[in-house]
Homo-oligomer: A and B are copies of this chain.
C-alpha cells in the first residue's frame, strides 16, 4: 500500500500529519533558478540527478529551466520517470543482468535512454538486450576519476571499451561518465579543487585519446552539488549531474568556503516535519520521527532555526531532542522542522512531498520512484 497523503492543499503547515516530507517551495524554486543562472555562458548543460528527488514533477520543473534531461542510478528510476514523461534519461551507472537490461531496452521506445558500462562482458550483454528489443542504445564509458568505486581506469582501458561499444551495430558510443562522488563532501575548497583538478586532467586526457581514435564524446558528464562550479569551468565537461542542490541537507551544510564559512550557495528547502509526542522531563522532548523517517548515514538531523535544540538520538520511531533549560521548551503536539542529515535516502522513505509556501500547503507531489531501486 502507499502512504495516504499527509495533507491537503490549503491546510496550514501545522495541520500536516507527521512525519511528513516538506518542500519549502520558495527556497526550492530559488535553488532551481540559481543553478540555471550559474551555468549561463559556460556552454555546459545541467542534467540533474533524480536519485535525489525521485519525482517526475520536479524533473519537469528542472527541464523547464533548461535542464537537458535527468540522470538516474537504477532502471526502476528510469521507468518511473519515463512513465512520467521525462524525454531524456541517462542511467549514470552500470546495469547488470538480462532482465534489467531488457527493461532498459524497452524504455528506449518511449524516451531517449543511455547507460554506463565499465566491463566488456557487460557491453556484450547490453548489446544483446538492444538487439533483442530492436533498439539502439547509447553507452557511456565510466572512468574512475578518484572515487575508487566503479569505472575503468582513464586512458587506454577506457579507449578499448569505447571501441568495443562503437563497433557494435546495436550500440552507440555516448561519451564518458566521470563522477567523483567523494569529492562532493570534502570540507575545504582546497581539497575539492585538488581532487577535481585531477578528475579534469584524467578526463581531458581520455577525451583526447578517444578523439585521436575518431571517437567523439557527445556527453562528458559528472560533477555534483559540492564541486559543480569546478567541472562547469573545466573546458572538458559538458554535462553536470548535481542532484542535491534542489534540497540541500545537513551534510552539505558542513562544506566550507575559502573564508572557512559554510557554503550557502543553495538553501535548505527539504524538511521532515515532526510532532512532539512526549515531553516527560525538563530539557527533553521526543518527536515522532526516527530512523524510519530520517537517514542517519551522514549524522543526526538539525532542528530548523533552533540552534538551542539538539537531536541526540534516533530509534525506529522516536527522535530524542535535548535543549538548554532556559529556552522555551516545546509543547506536546508542537511541530518542528528537521533538516535531514542526507537528503537522498531520506526522500526514498516517503510517497509524497508536501509543498508549502508562506505557511500553507500548496501542492502534493508523488515520489513516483520511491523504492524503485531495482
Asked if A333 lies at the interface with its beta carbon under 8 angstroms from chain B, I say: yes
Indicate which residue in B278, B279, B345 contacts A291 across the interface (CB closer than 8 Å): B345
**Mask for A89-110, Cβ within 8 A of B = 1, else 0?**
0000111110110000000000
User: When the two chains form their complex, are residues A315 and B181 in contact, meaning their CB atoms are under 8 A apart?
Assistant: yes
A345 proximity list for chain B (CB < 8 A)? 291-292, 316
A17 to B103, CA, bound (A): 12
Indicate which residue in B6, B96, B276, B366 contacts A277 across the interface (CB closer than 8 Å): B96
User: When the two chains form their complex, are residues A332 and B100 in contact, meaning their CB atoms are under 8 A apart?
Assistant: no
**Mask for A332-374, Cβ within 8 A of B = 1, else 0?**
1100000000101100111100000000000000101011111
User: When the two chains form their complex, are residues A350 and B371 in contact, meaning their CB atoms are under 8 A apart?
Assistant: yes
Copies of this chain present in the complex amount to 2
- Which of A22-30, A38-46, A115-123, A196-204 lies at the interface? A115-123
A205 to chain B, nearest CB (A): 18
- Which of A130-138, A144-152, A212-220, A226-234 lies at the interface? A144-152
User: When the two chains form their complex, are residues B316 and A3 in contact, meaning their CB atoms are under 8 A apart?
Assistant: no
Indicate which residue in B94, B150, B332 contacts A119 across the interface (CB closer than 8 Å): B332
A301 proximity list for chain B (CB < 8 A)? none
A3 to B373, CA, bound (A): 9
A371 to chain B, nearest CB (A): 5
- Closest B residue by C-beta to A316: B344
List, sorted by A's number, 8 A–B pairs whose CB atoms are closer than 8 Å: A1-B366, A2-B2, A2-B371, A3-B374, A17-B97, A96-B278, A348-B349, A351-B371
